[in-house]
Amino acid sequence: MIDIHSVLIAVSFDEKYMQQIRDIYTPAKIIELNFDDEKGIVEALKSVDVAFIGGDLDDRYINAPKLQWVHCGHAGLNKFAKKEIFDKGLVVSSSAGRSAPALAEHIILFMLALSYKISDFIEAQKTHTWGIKGQSNLRALYGQTIGIIGMGHTGKELAVRTKAMGMKVIAYSNKEKAPENVDSYYSAAKEDTLDDILKESDFLALCIPLTDKTYHMISTKELKMMKPSSCIINMARGAVIDESVLIKALKEGWIAGAGLDTFEQEPLSSKSELWDLPNVYMTPHCTPQVPDRTGRTIEILKENVLRYRKGLPLLNQLMIHDIFSR
């Protein structure tokens, strides 16, 4: 059994949630601070062995003399997936999965918009025009093939929903065992490549973390393997796609369209060609919240405190293969 002696809590939640957090860590000593209280955090990190923070981890946490575990109240850990964390032996975990249902919906939003050419119908409505060019050639999502790269929280939720919509679901991930709600599965653990999923997919959804291995995973070779009628959806991180090549692919018709919520540079430069491409839908790295997202965050924290005390692997624990050094 691992004891938790002193905890830094640097999140801003309603009091009812803060009390739940205190109860989870009982009987440890609690130090509560605002995440932007730099002086207070520096002082607290001299003594605490555990921290729960609402923002990004930085060198103050890596260098804290007694700190053993940091849990982050958000999902992505790529900003601080550094080798130094593993050299120190610091355990880091996140709240990934709390918004997975909404992220899956967001991907389907892009797919529907692209499939139905919704922007064209909106423009037609503005000009009181009955119909759009090529509307008789539009295809519903039903019966089409979605390829999902990455079968973590979002990928699994997306598979459930698209399977229920009558789509063929194929997937690729680093896990050996095929997940549920998937018709065909390709595994990096079995040395499968991306080739088949790229060739077969009408919609390709990226749901993977950004690591040194996934940086620019989708570039010239991959985009040229996709169907000219296919579309790509990125709900991962912007740098999973080589953005300059994606722009070329969209302009030259290698693929039919894209739905993008993340970009290599955020905010996206006003000079980016992506803004004006007619076959692109974009959102500014922003997905509507699920009901009680904070409550879902605390449930993940509660489970991880139990696991930490028992010396078990944590949910969403940062692993050595998650390092992103660029």
Active-site residue flag, 161: no
Q: Which amino acid is at 261?
A: D
Residue 173, SS3 per DSSP: strand
Active-site residue flag, 273: no
What residues are paired with 231 via a beta bridge?
Answer: 203, 257
Q: Write the DSSP symbol of residue 166.
A: T
Among the options 123, 176, 266, 309, which is catalytic?
A: 266
Among the options 285, 293, 303, 307, which is catalytic?
A: 285
Rounded Cα gap, residues 238 and 246, in angstroms: 11
Q: In sequence order, which residues have a C-beta less than 8 Å from that of residue 94 and are 6 or more positions away?
A: 71, 72, 74, 75, 76, 77, 316, 318
Q: In sequence order, which residues have a C-beta less than 8 Å from that of residue 267 and are 6 or more positions away?
A: 284
Active-site residue flag, 237: yes
Residue 232, SS3 per DSSP: strand
For the CA atoms of 153, 78, 190, 313, what is the dihedral angle to 10 degrees?
-70
Among the options 71, 237, 243, 296, which is catalytic?
A: 237
What are the E-state strand segments in 122-269? Answer: 145-149, 168-173, 184-187, 203-206, 231-234, 257-260
Which residue numbers are catalytic?
237, 266, 285
